[in-house]
Amino acid sequence: MRVTLVHPSGFNFVPGQPDFSVLANRLAPVGILSLAAWLEQHGHPTAVHDCLGPQAPTRLEDQVAGILATSPDLVGFSATTSGFMDAVDLAALLKAARPDLPIVVGNAHASSLGAPLLESFPELDFLCLGEGEGPLLDLAEGKPPAEIPNLVWRDGDRIATNPRRPRILDLDELPFPAYEKLAGFPQGYHLPLFSYVKRYGATMITSRGCPYTCSFCDRTVFEHQYRFHSPAYIHAHMKHLRDRFGVHHINFYDDLFTAHQGRITELCQRLLDEPLGMNFNCIIRTGHTSVELLQLLKRAGCIMVSLGVESADPGMMARHKAGVTLESVRDTVEKVHAAGLRAKGLFIFGLPGETPETFQRTSDFILSLDLDDMNLTKFSPLHGAPLWAECVAGAEGDFIEDWRLLNCVNPVFRPEGFASRAQMEELYNGHIKRFYSSEGYRHRFGRRLWEHRWSLWHLIRHLPQTLAAKRYFGSKGDAGAGTYTRHPRQPVGLRPMPLGR
């Protein structure tokens, strides 16, 4: 069976503003590239259509024409919550052109909500819950839907949810993602600006699952069973990207790259014994990374490590990021810098319980850490996260349930401590300006100006969009989430499936 896998563009910024996301960061859709390689390995020709790709058209009708041009027997969408309605719109147009074309949707939104989505959207035939390799292969091989674990399907007038299948334990059985199927890779894709010094870049995910339980994370796809690729596999994967595509920087997007420190120690030693001339960035856990491991990461080619902090208010941290303290954060950042690595802090603005005072503490703390970079996202409740029920209940704030805005750049949830979303936006933009205009950041950036020449050249080539982004983050206006019109077909109040079904 010929399968076409689609990454819908979705909604990536704020209403009424240009989309700056692709300007700053265009990542290859590694999930569907991995599935494409898996299907090809089992004899099923695949095509990949990235609606956010450098060569992709912007009109839905043109995207549908491109998908149909691949002559698919099955179309699979990988859709986040913010991209789900875009997938529905594409599916509706595909069905209008080819009513008999089977369509399956996977990723976190489908995994967390399940059967109610098929009840709401008749153009969708199947949902894939959890890992996609098994159900996609079964569908491609014509197995009856009733016999496919991890599948939600239409059994006449009834929506059937099949049992979950065992997780893939040996990830080394999976082939490398089919990057060659991605039009414009790697030249048309780029990692977050100023996060790399060599081009070209690519992303890798070397583990599945996370052993920790943060209040805001959806774990319905890979859940908490932690599995990982071996150091030998990762090294070979990196070499493949270098030799075939000219990639010289990797961003490891594991939820927690160093969760199994023995694995990372062995990988670093392999990179030292068999050097590839590549750099990489990764995520570490605050308070759980030794000086020796940080030094080894540096020697192996690591440039920057990211640390999930979320907030600097002790009460907020205890509620949303258990096991992390301000003292351990500061100590870890100092160790990172002592090892010669860059430190990037990851924070979330607007979690339940947030107030202007708690955010001011976070902003002050961020400036005091002397971070090399930071990422401050706006809290987006996700259906499979522990906080979802609290947010929709409305006891601690106001929530706009618009799936397209659940992209971490819109203030969809307003904690009761804030008078308005306009107030939230002003505080957020004020912090962004404060951090990037601080003396410490400017000094570090100036010293690394030549290292960042490829990022600077990218911004110069897109100067109008760059200036528009600068104006936006210097503004004080409302983000528009309160007045944006929700997709007319999006249901409200669907209840997520219980985890682990």
Using CB atoms within 10 A of its CB, is residue 414 exposed (0-12), middle (13-18) or buried (19+)?
A: buried
> Rounded mean pLDDT of 23-36?
95
Our measurement of the distance from residue 385's CA atom to the centroid of its chain's CA atoms, rounded to an integer in Å, reads 15
Q: What is the DSSP string of 323-344?
A: T--HHHHHHHHHHHHHTT-EEE
**What pLDDT is recorded for position 501?**
41
pLDDT tens for 75-106 read: 999 999 999 999 999 999 999 999 999 999 99
Contact 304/344 with Cβ under 8 angstroms? Answer: yes
> Rounded mean pLDDT of 166-170?
93
**What pLDDT is recorded for position 222?**
56
Distance in Å from the first CA to the final CA of the chain:
29
> Rounded mean pLDDT of 287-305?
95
pLDDT tens for 211-257 read: 766 777 776 665 667 899 999 999 999 999 999 999 999 999 998 89
For residue 318, give the 3-state DSSP assignment.
helix
Query: Which domains does the chain carry?
Result: 3-161 (3.40.50.2300), 190-473 (3.80.30.20)
Using CA of residue 232, residue 237, residue 240, residue 241, what is the dihedral sign? negative
Question: Among candidates 38, 29, 5, 284, which has minimal Cα distance to 168?
Answer: 38
Question: Among candidates 105, 114, 127, 101, which has minimal Cα distance to 6?
Answer: 105
Place of tokens 């704030």: 397
**What pLDDT is recorded for position 66?**
97
Confidence of residue 498 (pLDDT cuts 50, 70, 90): low
Helix and strand counts by DSSP (H, E) for the chain: 18, 17
> Rounded mean pLDDT of 158-174?
95
**What pLDDT is recorded for position 219?**
62
**What pLDDT is recorded for position 288?**
81
Q: At residue 500, does pLDDT exceed 50?
A: no
Q: At residue 412, does pLDDT exceed 50?
A: yes
pLDDT tens for 417-471 read: 999 999 999 999 999 999 999 999 999 999 999 999 999 999 999 898 888 777 7
Q: Rounded distance, CA 230 to CA 431, Å?
A: 40
pLDDT tens for 361-401 read: 999 999 999 999 999 999 999 888 888 888 999 989 999 99
**What pLDDT is recorded for position 321?**
81
**What pLDDT is recorded for position 497?**
63
350 vs 287, higher pLDDT: 350
Confidence of residue 19 (pLDDT cuts 50, 70, 90): confident
Q: At residue 141, does pLDDT exceed 70?
A: yes
**What pLDDT is recorded for position 473?**
61
Q: At residue 484, does pLDDT exceed 80?
A: no
**What pLDDT is recorded for position 468?**
79
